[in-house]
Amino acid sequence: MREFANLDEESAENIRKSGALSVDQADKMIENVIGVMETPLGIATNFTINGKDYLIPMAIEEPSVIAAASNAAKMARDKGGFSASATKPIMIGQIQLICDDPHGARTSILGARKKILELANEQNPTLVKLGGGARDLEVRIIETPSGKMVIVHLLVDCRDAMGANTVNTMCERVSPLIEQLTSGRVYLRIVSNLAVKRLARAKAVFSKEALGGEDAVDAIIQAYSFAAADPYRCATHNKGIMNGITAVALATGNDTRAIEAGAHSYASFSGRYKPLTTYEKNEDGDLVGTIELPIAAGLVGGATKVHPVAIANLKILGVKTASELAEVMASVGLAQNLAALRALATEGIQRGHMSLHAKNIAVMAGATGDMVDKIASALVREGRIRLDRAKELLEEEEK
């Protein structure tokens, strides 16, 4: 992996050793720090995205996720891997205005568009120099339990930043002008995580041979249709997608909650909660999978440039822009979902899952060293992956 990623010794060391994030560093990131909590970090393999090979760091506590993503990525390789794209990295900042004449206020605000954008951009000349900055305004009038409100959307191209800080600062900066223009009062000024103008998309074709035959293709489409029709299933379907995306977000020091909020709210954007992926059969009978969701991920700011392991992981990934990172995340989400649907629709998820889970159970029972694998194998062999049985086996071994 070091060779593939051309990784320097310091980064490799930061990944290898636990405790790379010192308590002192952590203390500068958040408040009331008492320590650091570690999460397993693995590498998903086999990903080709837009013709480029990637090794993808994923931080997650759940077994099977990385194996599943790597397996689906392998199946996609036959047909060229994933093709992915992203819109411009535009975030929405919301300004909540209460005033007597919402329609009049809307017209005044839109009339002062140029002045408002200029004022916002004065806030961040570096972003403007990099080709980003406040780009446009939208003004909505919404009905609420407290009456009509004017909601101003400031659209900001955040380039390689996730952008929440930039957007919030800009919104705060332009609010007095908005109050002046409308004689209204501004309340909230905050980024929206429903980042509909910062979408990432990916597509892959999975050959019927790679999936295990025509029946498997049909079964996966049935599984997708179930999620498309039923919110109870759809929540789990989308959760599986986020297993992959959140793990990459965490490994790269990104705001996992922002991405999760964006994904699930986007899934409901039509008024009905829907899958973030689609599946169809093409004329050859192969499975075509797509994904589309907002991904507000950054390469600068937040923990991305502070956490030593996140820094190393971004080097492994080798992405040049935040949009490329979003494309990788979307591809991982699609792979994750395909792997889950295939397993669920054919042999069921538990066999593969439980053999990895068995290792956790063995550790929980107190096994260490070689004993972990020994107990786990026995549990799988017996088909009884339970803590009480693991304890019994361990006692027998130790007699």
Selecting among 239, 281, 315, 391, the annotated active-site residue is: 239
List 157, 160, 255, 327, catalytic entry:
255
Which lies closer to ligand MEV via its Cβ, residue 116 or residue 250? 250
Strand partners, 354: none
The residues, ordered by sequence, that sit 6+ positions from 142 with a Cβ below 8 Å of its Cβ are 148, 149, 151
| The two three-digit tokens of residue 14, written as one number | 């930061």
In the shown chain, the binding pattern of residues 239 to 268 toward ligand MEV, with x for contact by CB under 6 A and - for none, equals: xx--x-------------------------
43 within 8 A of 316, measured Cβ to Cβ: yes
Which residue among 10, 13, 62, 284 is the active-site one? 62
Nearer to ligand MEV, 64 or 252 (CB): 64
User: Residue 236 or 282: which CB sits closer to ligand MEV?
Assistant: 236
Distance separating alpha carbons of residues 262 and 246, to the nearest angstrom: 12
What ranges make up the beta strands (E) of 264-337?
A: 277-281, 287-294
Terminal-residue alpha carbon distance, the chain: 42
* Cβ-based nearer residue to ligand MEV, 340 or 365: 340
**Least distance from ligand MEV to the Cβ atom of residue 295, Å:** 19
Question: x/- binding map, residues 311-350, to ligand MEV, per CB under 6 A?
Answer: -----------------------------x---x----x-
Of the candidate spans 14-22, 124-132, 137-145, 237-245, the one that interacts with ligand MEV by CB under 6 A turns out to be 237-245
Q: Is 129 a catalytic residue?
A: no
Query: Is 118 an active-site residue?
Result: no
HSE (CB half, 13 Å, CA atoms) of 137?
Answer: 26
Q: Is 373 an active-site residue?
A: no
Q: What is the Cα–Cα distance from 248 to 294, expressed in whole angstroms?
A: 15
Residue 237 is a binding residue for ligand MEV (CB under 6 A): yes
The residue range among 24-32, 141-149, 233-241, 284-292 that interacts with ligand MEV, by the rule CB under 6 A, is 233-241
Q: Among residue numbers 60 through 79, which ones bind ligand MEV (CB under 6 A)?
A: 62
Cβ atoms of 76 and 48 closer than 8 Å: yes
Nearest-approach distance from CB 357 to ligand MEV, in angstroms: 11
Q: Which residue has the tokens 């599984």?
A: 223
In whole angstroms, the minimum distance from the beta carbon of 348 to ligand MEV comes to 10
What are 158's two structure tokens?
A: 């955040």
Taking alpha carbons only, the member of 354, 376, 355, 356 closest to residue 365 is: 376
Sheet containing strand 147-157, strands side by side: 133-144, 147-157, 90-98, 185-192
Active site residues: 62, 239, 255, 353
- Residues in contact with ligand MEV by CB under 6 A are 62, 236-237, 239-240, 243, 340, 344, 349
